Chains A and B, each alone.
Chain A
């Protein structure tokens, strides 16, 4: 795995589409994971293996991958989506992780 880079902040109006990117040289060969973290709470997985959505996560959350960039897309953003979002990748054994610096999503 290598360093992962995210924008520090993204702002969108309710109902709009939010896109949060994560770039890293290792991403073409490794899966990416996305977590949502609200204040005072543990992180929650929202996307795994680049594009898969865990059960219970709303369909408005989706993930995509293209080369060295992975993207978390939130369609029809709601006020409750305001949170910090972190991308993460792992080595092939799953025992080494690396996180991006996190992106604060603000819903205007």
Chain B
């Protein structure tokens, strides 16, 4: 069974950092590019960042460029999102998803508030 499990969310003050993780199982992780997508409460889906299967290519939405860093460890079947200089508008559920959108995790909530 394919599983994507996000972790690392929580309440954080503006300007601070947080690192999200996504643990993958049930499929060949390094066959897939991976993505982070977020959804603010009551709002639509917003793509955040993507990474190629071998980490050669990483791309970011303008809203997070320079503050967030996506990475992966294929040996650990894991995807990461390092989030720095967090802002209130970064408050959202963060989902990891596979290339093609076949599989999604259940999301982890990040709340940025003082």
Q: Which chain A residues have a beta carbon within 8 Å of chain B's beta carbons?
A: 33, 35, 37, 42-45, 48, 54, 84, 86, 88, 93-102
User: Is the C-beta of B57 less than 8 angstroms from some C-beta in chain A?
Assistant: yes
User: Is the C-beta of B95 less than 8 angstroms from some C-beta in chain A?
Assistant: yes
Q: Which residues of B contact A37 (CB under 8 A)?
A: 45
Majority DSSP secondary structure for residues of A touching B: strand
Q: Which chain B residues have a beta carbon within 8 Å of chain A's beta carbons?
A: 33, 35, 37, 44-47, 50-52, 57-59, 95, 97, 99-102, 104-107
B35, A97: Cβ atoms under 8 Å? yes
Q: Which residues of B contact A43 (CB under 8 A)?
A: 37, 45, 95, 97, 101, 104
Which of A42, A84, A96, A101 lies in contact with B106, CB distance below 8 A?
A: A42
Q: Which residues of B contact A100 (CB under 8 A)?
A: 44
A99, B50: Cβ atoms under 8 Å? no
Closest chain B CB from A27 CB (angstroms): 16
